[in-house]
Homo-oligomer: A and B are copies of this chain.
Amino acid sequence: LTPAASFSTSSPPIERDDEIVFGFIGLGNMGFPMASNLRKQTVPLVVFDTNPETCRVARENGMVIASKPEEIITRNFFNKTKSGCSLIFTMLPGCNAIHATMNQLFQVASTDVQDVHCRRVFVDCSTVSPSTSKAWHKKWIEKGHDMLDAPVSGGVKGATDATLTFMVGSEESRGWQVAKPYLDFMGSRIVFCGGPGAGSATKLCNNLALASQMIGICEAMNLGEALGVDPIVLSDVMNTATAKCWSSEVNNPHPKVAAKRSSPAANEYKGGFGSKLMLKDLGLAVQSANEVGVSLPITSQAKELYRLIDAHGLGDKDFGVMLQFLRGKRP
């Protein structure tokens, strides 16, 4: 039995669907299309963002705007049995933002959760350290609420197309059962990874492995070309050999190879997965490894290389820009 199989997702939510009001905090590049996909399913949706212009567009898209995060919990927007939202998503830039927002919510969240109508589920889709996730799982559970860490992969395109992958960590509890059907509105693949923090950990582990793969492919393409091997031939060989990976096949960092797929390297590394975001994820991975005493020699070096890329003003370029950086070039 995998952990995923130990949960029954066919059992009905404890609360009746039409009583659920949804909250969404953080309408950035990812959060806005995610919230829009929730809204498209005609769910009642209250949102908060610090950017007034974003809020204006959200209102035009049928979302109800909270004037501060606490209203997500305290205000009764839809004349329901209970105040505020039952299922509250957060999509914020990192640990500090999550701590700040969660603290605001925590102060107003009732502890009177003997009444099921006062229980809420917090679904944090931000990419944060597993220790941040665990800390908030603990606090919410102690207060009688539920939490999921549910970071995503798939980028802005996946958020827009509702094809995100959600990596979920949660106690074996009501929260997962309540939230899962609604994650399907925003993603095409919902993976239960384990207990509190397991979603955050899984995302960081995937991305640290991805970073070393990309840099390895960049080094291979650069060396091969310098030694006179045609980049197309080299990638064709690798893609049918033991070095085959997503960074070689789907997102090859060599412009000549990328041209076949119109992937970022064919377009001056625009779009794709920003080097700055990779730097953030690698920083969280190294920090988490320090906390649990795990050695990450290659990931640590990869992190420093992406810090250099960011320092050189290339942080917004797809992380395949490493190929050019290692040549001393800019795209």
**Cβ-based interface call for A297 (8 A):** yes
Q: Which residues of B contact A327 (CB under 8 A)?
A: 295
Assess the A292–B202 pair: CB atoms within 8 A.
no
Q: Which of A248-307 contact B (CB under 8 A)?
A: 248, 285, 288-289, 292-299, 301-302, 305
- Minimum Cβ distance to chain B for residue A154 (Å): 9
**Cβ-based interface call for A7 (8 A):** no
The interface bits of chain A over 104-139 (1 if a CB of B lies within 8 angstroms of the residue's CB, else 0) are 000000000000000000000000001000000000
CA A222 to CA B204, docked complex, whole Å: 12
Q: Which residues of B contact A194 (CB under 8 A)?
A: 228-230, 233
Assess the A216–B209 pair: CB atoms within 8 A.
yes
Q: Which residues of B contact A191 (CB under 8 A)?
A: 233, 236-237
Assess the B240–A243 pair: CB atoms within 8 A.
no
Q: Which residues of B contact A237 (CB under 8 A)?
A: 167, 191, 193, 202, 206
Most buried by B among A193, A228, A302: A228
The interface bits of chain A over 177-210 (1 if a CB of B lies within 8 angstroms of the residue's CB, else 0) are 0000000000001010111011001101111111
The interface bits of chain A over 219-235 (1 if a CB of B lies within 8 angstroms of the residue's CB, else 0) are 11111101111101110
**Cβ-based interface call for A143 (8 A):** no
In the complex, which of the residues B4, B228, B248, B285 contacts A209, with contact meaning CB atoms closer than 8 Å?
Answer: B248
Interface of A: prevailing SS = helix
Assess the A234–B202 pair: CB atoms within 8 A.
yes
CA A20 to CA B247, docked complex, whole Å: 44
**Cβ-based interface call for A238 (8 A):** yes
Q: Which residues of B contact A83 (CB under 8 A)?
A: none
Q: Which of A1-44 contact B (CB under 8 A)?
A: 2-4
**Cβ-based interface call for A217 (8 A):** yes
CA A204 to CA B219, docked complex, whole Å: 11
Q: A212-B215, A213-B213 are in contact. List 11 more A-B contacts (CB 8 A).
A: A2-B230, A2-B232, A201-B224, A201-B228, A205-B227, A205-B243, A209-B216, A212-B216, A222-B295, A227-B288, A294-B326
**Cβ-based interface call for A244 (8 A):** yes
- Minimum Cβ distance to chain B for residue A150 (Å): 13
- Minimum Cβ distance to chain B for residue A236 (Å): 7
**Cβ-based interface call for A309 (8 A):** no
CA A302 to CA B167, docked complex, whole Å: 30
Assess the A298–B223 pair: CB atoms within 8 A.
no
